[in-house]
Chains A and B, each alone.
Chain A
Amino acid sequence: MSRSRRNWNEVNAASLARWIVLTGFLALSGLCYVYLTLQLYHLGDRKKALENEVANLRMQNEVTSAQIAALTSRSALQRRLKEGYLKMIPIAEHNIVRLSIPNRNPDDAVQPVSNPRSAR
Chain B
Amino acid sequence: MKWNSRTRCAIVCLGFILLFSLFSFRLIYLQMIKHDEYAGLAAEKHVIKQPIFAERGIILDANNDVLAHNIPVETVVADTSRLNNVDATVNLVSDELKLPRAEVSEKLHTDRRYIVLKREVAKVSADSLRQKLRSQNLRGIYFEQDATRVYPNGGMLCHVIGFTDFEHKGIQGVEGSLDEYLHGQDGYRYIEHNRAGQEIVLYRGQERAPRNGYQVHLTVDLNLQNIVENEIDAAMHEYSPKKATIILMRPQTGEILAMANRPAFDLNKRSEAKPEEMKNRAICDMMEPGSTFKIVTAAAALNEHKFSLDSYIFCENGVWNYGGTPLHDHAAFKDLSVKDILVKSSNIGAAKMAVTLGDQKFYEYIRRFGFGERTGVELPGEIPGLIRSPQLWSKISITHIPMGHEIGVTPLQMATAMCAIANGGKLMTPRIVKSITTSDGKTISTLKPVVLRQVVSPQTANQIGIALRGVVSDRGTAAAAAVPGFIIAGKTGTAQKVGPHGSYEKGKEVVSFCGYLPADNPEFVGLVVLDDAQTKPEQNYGGQVAGPIFSHIAEKAARYLDLEPHEEIRKAIPVERVALTNASRH
Interface residues of A in 46-85 (CB under 8 A from B): 47-48, 55, 59, 62-63, 65-66, 69-70, 72-76, 78
Contact of B72 (CB < 8 Å), options: A63, A75, A98: A63
Residues of B within 8 A of A40 (CB): 202
Among B88-96, B148-156, B319-327, the stretch in contact with A: B148-156
Counting chain B CB atoms within 10 Å of each CB, the highest count among A47, A69, A98 belongs to A69
Question: Given A74-B226, A98-B564, are A66 and B71 neighbors across the interface (CB < 8 Å)?
Answer: yes
A63 CA to B126 CA, complexed, in Å: 14
Q: Count the A residues whose beta carbon is within 8 Å of the partner chain — how many? A: 22
- Are B123 and A59 in contact (CB-based, < 8 A)? yes
Residues of B within 8 A of A48 (CB): 199, 201
Contact of B202 (CB < 8 Å), options: A41, A62, A73, A98: A41
Contact of B201 (CB < 8 Å), options: A44, A62, A72: A44
A89 CB → nearest B CB, Å:
14
B124: nearest residue on chain A (CB-CB)?
Answer: A63
Question: Given A63-B123, A74-B226, A98-B564, are A44 and B200 neighbors across the interface (CB < 8 Å)?
Answer: yes
A42 CB → nearest B CB, Å:
10
A41 CA to B204 CA, complexed, in Å: 12
Contact mask A93-105 → B, CB, 8 Å, 1/0? 0000010000000
- Are B69 and A66 in contact (CB-based, < 8 A)? yes
Residues of B within 8 A of A73 (CB): 152-154
- Are B222 and A74 in contact (CB-based, < 8 A)? yes
A55 CA to B74 CA, complexed, in Å: 13
Contact mask B562-574 → A, CB, 8 Å, 1/0? 1010000000000
Contact of A74 (CB < 8 Å), options: B147, B153, B202, B204: B153
Contact mask B115-151 → A, CB, 8 Å, 1/0? 0000000010000000000000000000001010010
Residues of B within 8 A of A63 (CB): 71-72, 123
B66 in the interface (beta carbon within 8 A): yes
Residues of B within 8 A of A70 (CB): 150, 152
- Are A59 and B72 in contact (CB-based, < 8 A)? yes
Contact of B152 (CB < 8 Å), options: A45, A59, A62, A69: A69
- Are B564 and A45 in contact (CB-based, < 8 A)? no
A78 CA to B153 CA, complexed, in Å: 11
Q: Count the B residues whose beta carbon is within 8 Å of the partner chain — how many? A: 23
Residues of B within 8 A of A47 (CB): 201
A98 CA to B561 CA, complexed, in Å: 13
- Are A62 and B72 in contact (CB-based, < 8 A)? yes
A77 CA to B4 CA, complexed, in Å: 107
- Are B202 and A69 in contact (CB-based, < 8 A)? no
Contact mask B200-244 → A, CB, 8 Å, 1/0? 111010000000000000000010011000000000000000000
B229: nearest residue on chain A (CB-CB)?
Answer: A74
B446 in the interface (beta carbon within 8 A): no
Contact of B71 (CB < 8 Å), options: A41, A62, A74, A98: A62
B48 CB → nearest A CB, Å:
15
Residues of B within 8 A of A59 (CB): 72, 123
B154: nearest residue on chain A (CB-CB)?
Answer: A75
B153: nearest residue on chain A (CB-CB)?
Answer: A73
Residues of B within 8 A of A55 (CB): 145
Residues of A within 8 A of B311 (CB): none
Contact of B70 (CB < 8 Å), options: A44, A62, A78: A62
- Are A75 and B150 in contact (CB-based, < 8 A)? no
Residues of A within 8 A of B145 (CB): 55
A40 CA to B147 CA, complexed, in Å: 33
- Are B153 and A45 in contact (CB-based, < 8 A)? no
B145: nearest residue on chain A (CB-CB)?
Answer: A55
A51 CB → nearest B CB, Å:
9
B265 CB → nearest A CB, Å:
14
A41 CA to B203 CA, complexed, in Å: 10
A50 CB → nearest B CB, Å:
10
B157: nearest residue on chain A (CB-CB)?
Answer: A74
A31 CA to B497 CA, complexed, in Å: 91
Contact of A75 (CB < 8 Å), options: B71, B153, B564: B153
A70 CB → nearest B CB, Å:
5
- Are A66 and B150 in contact (CB-based, < 8 A)? yes
B153 CB → nearest A CB, Å:
5
Residues of A within 8 A of B72 (CB): 59, 62-63
B475 CB → nearest A CB, Å:
27
A43 CA to B150 CA, complexed, in Å: 38
A42 CA to B260 CA, complexed, in Å: 58
Contact of B156 (CB < 8 Å), options: A41, A75, A98: A75
A65 CB → nearest B CB, Å:
7
A104 CB → nearest B CB, Å:
19
Residues of A within 8 A of B562 (CB): 98
Residues of A within 8 A of B225 (CB): 74
A52 CB → nearest B CB, Å:
11
Counting chain A CB atoms within 10 Å of each CB, the highest count among B71, B123, B225, B564 belongs to B71
Contact of B69 (CB < 8 Å), options: A69, A72, A74, A78: A69
Residues of A within 8 A of B154 (CB): 73, 75
- Are B66 and A69 in contact (CB-based, < 8 A)? yes
Counting chain A CB atoms within 10 Å of each CB, the highest count among B152, B156, B204, B222 belongs to B152
Residues of B within 8 A of A44 (CB): 200-202, 204
Residues of A within 8 A of B156 (CB): 74-75
A77 CB → nearest B CB, Å:
9
A66 CA to B204 CA, complexed, in Å: 33
A41 CA to B71 CA, complexed, in Å: 33
B151: nearest residue on chain A (CB-CB)?
Answer: A73
Residues of B within 8 A of A45 (CB): 201
The 4 closest A-B pairs by CB, nearest first: A44-B201, A73-B152, A69-B152, A69-B66
With A44-B201, A48-B201 given, can you name 10 additional A-B contacts, CB distance below 8 Å?
Answer: A62-B70, A66-B70, A72-B152, A73-B153, A74-B153, A74-B222, A74-B225, A75-B152, A75-B153, A98-B562
Residues of A within 8 A of B (CB): 40-41, 43-45, 47-48, 55, 59, 62-63, 65-66, 69-70, 72-76, 78, 98
16 contacts between A and B (CB under 8 A): A44-B200, A45-B201, A48-B199, A55-B145, A62-B70, A62-B72, A65-B69, A66-B70, A69-B69, A70-B150, A72-B152, A73-B152, A73-B154, A74-B222, A75-B152, A75-B154
